């Protein structure tokens, strides 16, 4: 088993040389993960170890560039399916003489779903295997080759498992001391969302009232201009409005392990949503967790908000009515925890960024204030006159 350690002295050494030598999450190349390692060529130096992979995010390798001198492979760099390039391991600026020319240099790229059909790896010749010597590879009808002086030897054939390249491991300082490849152990099949990690707690969201606001749906004014003693008149303030409720997920990556796998929600997961709270005559709202069990629960619907309030007005009085609703719009980036099942039945989880958007609202709360007509907005000009009428409807 290949064990990787990091050391401060290695970092200081590389800093002095001015070399770029990144360290991935080195544990991703250890243990019983969903990967198969090829044989590693060259001696392992734990203090200079690297593990260049993004399999924990479902991202695969889609390209490689490599540089070699007469004596050994000097540097390499991977390209990933998310469009990023890995760090340059080794030193790709030092040709070690040779009139500034590389003894060997190769570069190849492919699509994220393409499988590697052949790989040969070798140790170096002049150092008797004390460094990585070269690689040949077949992918998508292309041949890649980058070798130090190892003659016509192509290297030893490697077990490619699924054929899906997901990384490289080994150790590197000024040279590539050792090198091997990392392949997905089996083809990816089913993907299920098993958890959704949100950056905010419910307590924080409710304390900060994130995205929660009171909106006015309708206003209405009524007046009774009948003479004194003419009797009370009835008004009715009512309406029906359509409001949008939605709950949507947008994923950052459309593919996992090079292919499009339909994500489904595999267990009950909780998402924040605005919930109406009614106590006696008051209505408030707060975010609470609601459980979803399938992607069908991610939806957008139009819902109806209805309200009605009746009252009576004495002559010379009016009513100023307002219908309001509490809306909540929570929009945030978050992390999907996705369980992947690969050929052979092995299961593991990856994490991928996503975006969640939820819009909710409460039913309307209506308030009508009875005032003298002179105290109505604009002294009651434009208000619905209910004088000499049994009942007047105001429908918005």
CA distance 240 to 135: 71
- The confidence score (pLDDT) of residue 8 equals 33
d(CA 28, CA 169): 10
170/193 Cα distance (integer angstroms): 33
pLDDT of residue 297: 61
In the structure encoding, which two tokens stand for residue 200, read together? Answer: 């905010």
The burial of 392, by beta-carbon neighbours within 10 Å (0-12 exposed, 13-18 middle, 19 or more buried), is given as: middle
Q: Who has greater pLDDT, 280 or 267?
A: 267
pLDDT score, position 134: 97
Can you give the pLDDT at residue 289?
81
Token reading at 190? 């089913």
Residues 6+ away with beta carbon under 8 Å from 151: 125
13 contacts 173 by C-beta, under 8 angstroms:
yes
Q: Is the pLDDT of residue 75 over 60?
A: yes
Q: How confident is the model at residue 285, as a pLDDT? A: 77
Question: Helical H runs in the chain?
Answer: 8-17, 202-208
pLDDT tier at 303 (50, 70, 90 boundaries)? confident
pLDDT tier for residue 223 given thresholds of 50, 70 and 90:
very high
Please give the pLDDT value at position 64: 98
Tell which residue, 284, 372, 366, has the closest CA to residue 322. Answer: 366
C-alpha 118/C-alpha 139 separation (Å) is: 7
pLDDT of 2 strictly over 60? no
Domains and CATH numbers, the chain: 8-186 (2.100.10.30), 190-395 (2.170.15)
Q: 122: number of CA atoms within 13 Å, CB side?
A: 27
pLDDT score of 10: 37
Task: Please tell me the predicted confidence (pLDDT) of residue 245.
Answer: 80
pLDDT for residue 306 is more than 70: yes
Give CA 159 to chain center in angstroms: 33
Distant-in-sequence, close-in-space partners of 279: CB < 8 Å, separation ≥ 6: none
Q: For the range 275-279, what are the long-range contacts, defined as Cβ-Cβ under 8 Å and sequence gap of 24 or more?
A: 275/360, 276/326, 276/362, 276/363
> What is the token pair recorded at 48?
């200079």
pLDDT at 137: 98
The C-alpha atoms of residue 356 and residue 339 are separated, in whole angstroms, by 19
With 0-12 / 13-18 / 19 or more C-beta atoms within 10 angstroms meaning exposed / middle / buried, residue 282 is exposed
pLDDT in tens, 162-184: 999 999 999 999 999 999 999 99
Look at residues 34, 24, 25 and name the one whose alpha carbon lies nearest to residue 188: 34
State yes or no: pLDDT of 28 exceeds 80. Answer: yes
Q: Which of 58-62, 154-158, 281-285, 308-312 has the lowest average pLDDT? A: 281-285
Mean pLDDT (the chain, rounded): 85
Which carries the bigger pLDDT value, residue 117 or residue 247? 117
Q: Give the contacts of 202 (CB within 8 A, at least 6 positions apart).
A: 272, 286, 287, 288, 289
Going by pLDDT thresholds of 50, 70 and 90, the confidence category of residue 262 is low
Q: pLDDT: is 302 or 355 the higher one?
A: 355
**pLDDT in the model for residue 361:** 85
Least confident of 41-45, 68-72, 248-252, 351-355: 248-252
Q: Kindly provide the residue ranges of all beta strands, DSSP E only, lying in 224-346, ordered along the sequence.
A: 233-251, 263-265, 269-279, 282-292, 300-313, 317-342
Maximum mean pLDDT: which of 186-195, 274-283, 374-383:
374-383
pLDDT at 395 over 60: no
Cβ(165)–Cβ(182) below 8 Å: yes
**Phi and psi based region of residue 206 (left: phi greater than 0; alpha: psi -120 to 50; beta: remaining):** alpha
> With bands split at pLDDT 50, 70 and 90, how would you rate the model's confidence at 6?
very low
Q: Say which range, 1-5, 16-20, 45-49, 330-334, has the weakest mean pLDDT.
A: 1-5
Q: What is the pLDDT of residue 154?
A: 87
SS3 string, 10-55, reads HHHHHHHHCCCCCCCCHHHHCCCCCEEECCCECCCCCCEEEEEECH
The whole-number pLDDT of residue 392 equals 46
């Amino acid at each position: 088993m290949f064990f990787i350690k990091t050391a401060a002295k290695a970092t200081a050494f590389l800093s002095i040389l001015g070399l770029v030598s990144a360290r991935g999450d080195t544990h991703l190349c250890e243990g019983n993960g969903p990967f198969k390692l090829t044989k590693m060529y060259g001696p392992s130096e734990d203090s200079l170890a690297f593990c260049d992979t993004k399999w924990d995010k479902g991202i695969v390798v889609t390209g490689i560039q490599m540089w070699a001198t007469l004596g050994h492979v000097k540097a390499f760099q991977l390209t990933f399916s998310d469009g990023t390039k890995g760090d340059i391991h080794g030193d790709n600026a030092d040709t070690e003489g040779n009139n500034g020319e590389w003894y060997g240099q190769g570069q190849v790229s492919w699509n994220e779903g393409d499988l590697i059909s052949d790989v040969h790896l070798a140790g170096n010749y002049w150092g008797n295997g004390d460094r990585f010597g070269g690689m040949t590879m077949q992918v998508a009808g292309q041949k890649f080759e980058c070798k130090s002086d190892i003659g016509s030897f192509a290297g030893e054939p490697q077990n490619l498992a699924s054929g899906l390249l997901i990384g490289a491991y080994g150790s590197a300082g000024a040279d590539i001391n050792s090198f091997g490849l990392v392949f997905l152990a089996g083809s990816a099949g089913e993907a299920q969302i098993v958890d959704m990690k949100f950056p905010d707690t419910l307590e924080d969201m409710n304390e900060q009232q994130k995205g929660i606001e009171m909106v006015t749906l309708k206003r209405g004014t009524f007046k009774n201009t009948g003479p004194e003693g003419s009797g009370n008149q009835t008004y009715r303030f009512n309406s029906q409005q359509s409001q949008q409720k939605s709950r949507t997920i947008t994923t950052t990556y459309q593919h996992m392990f090079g292919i499009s796998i339909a994500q489904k929600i595999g267990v009950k997961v909780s998402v924040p949503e605005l919930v109406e709270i009614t106590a006696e005559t008051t209505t408030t709202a707060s975010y609470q967790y609601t459980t979803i069990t399938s992607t069908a629960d991610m939806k957008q619907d139009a819902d109806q908000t209805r309200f009605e309030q009746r009252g009576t007005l004495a002559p010379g009085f009016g009513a100023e009515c307002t219908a309001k609703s509490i809306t909540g719009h929570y929009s945030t980036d978050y992390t999907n925890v996705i369980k992947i099942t690969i050929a052979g039945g092995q299961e593991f989880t990856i994490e991928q960024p996503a975006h969640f958007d939820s819009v909710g609202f409460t039913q309307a709360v209506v308030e009508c204030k009875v005032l003298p007509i002179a105290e109505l907005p604009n002294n009651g000009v434009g208000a619905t006159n209910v004088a000499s009428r049994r009942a007047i409807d105001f429908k918005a």
